[in-house]
């Protein structure tokens, strides 16, 4: 394996990392309660995922 002969400068290192752009997560409406949640995640409000109960949540009265 090759080993670096000199330390990579901060400027050169940061230039290499400029192509990454942070994006906000995609949200979807829950099919059960209508609340918004991230794609491929259980709904934090009701605990449903793809129309099926995934996490048992207590109902607030």
Q: How confident is the model at residue 21 (pLDDT cuts 50, 70, 90)?
A: confident
**59: pLDDT strictly greater than 80:** no
Sole residue written with tokens 């409000």: 45
β-strand partners of 52: 49
Q: How confident is the model at residue 9 (pLDDT cuts 50, 70, 90)?
A: very high
* Mean pLDDT value of segment 7-29: 90
Q: Against a cut of 0.85, is the pTM above it?
A: no
């Amino acid at each position: 394996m090759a080993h670096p002969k000199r330390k990579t400068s901060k400027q050169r290192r940061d230039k290499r990392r400029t192509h990454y752009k942070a994006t906000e997560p995609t949200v979807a409406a829950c099919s059960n309660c209508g609340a918004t949640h991230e794609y491929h995640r259980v709904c934090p409000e009701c605990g449903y995922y793809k129309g099926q109960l995934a996490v048992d949540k207590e109902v607030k009265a």
